[in-house]
């Protein structure tokens, strides 16, 4: 299965059934900002007396996806994006969910993995100084990071 037109999806449970996950729309992802990769993890890595590194790689490869939102996203649009992501949290206080993403190294989608949305810091570009009913806020690009490899317990 190669690229199918989406980059990252989140879900409360690992499911490929339509309606049981949220594909983050590409329209919210800034050009040239999407990065997805898997981190190899070692256990008991050690150098020998000759300086050779001995590695024992574990089976799990932790998925990490990062991107920035497009510039000038409004508070209305950003709230909609975050509501749709939050609806998939299975542990809301930890911003935890299952995630699946396209990984260029494999030209394929990485299997469902438990993960979380890392802390992020929206920075306002502009806030409308108005007494209108729905004044607008606009944001600079916001970096979002989705970290996999969380133990399912």
Q: In this predicted model, what pLDDT tens digit does every residue of 8-57 receive, in sequence order? A: 999 999 988 888 999 999 999 999 999 999 988 778 888 889 988 888 87
DSSP string, 46-92: EE-TTS-EE--B-S--EEEEEEEBPTTEEHHHHHHHHHHHHTT-SBG
- CA-CA distance, 134 to 137, in Å (whole number)? 10
- 2 has pLDDT over 80: yes
Counting every residue written for the chain, the total comes to 153
**Global confidence as pTM:** 0.88
- CA-CA distance, 73 to 83, in Å (whole number)? 15
């Amino acid at each position: 299965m190669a690229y199918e037109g989406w980059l990252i999806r989140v879900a409360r449970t690992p499911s490929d059934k339509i309606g049981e996950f949220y594909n983050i729309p590409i329209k919210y992802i800034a050009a040239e900002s999407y990065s997805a990769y898997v981190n190899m993890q070692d256990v008991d890595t050690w150098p020998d007396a000759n300086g050779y590194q001995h590695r024992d790689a574990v089976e799990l490869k932790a998925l990490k996806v990062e991107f920035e939102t497009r510039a000038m996203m409004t508070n209305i649009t950003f709230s909609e994006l975050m509501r749709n992501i939050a609806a998939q949290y299975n542990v809301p206080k930890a911003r935890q969910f299952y995630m699946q993403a396209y990984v260029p190294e494999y030209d394929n989608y990485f299997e469902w993995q438990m993960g979380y949305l890392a802390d992020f810091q929206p920075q306002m570009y502009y806030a409308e100084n108005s007494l209108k009913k729905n004044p607008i806020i606009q944001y600079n690009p916001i970096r979002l990071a989705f970290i996999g490899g969380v133990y399912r317990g």
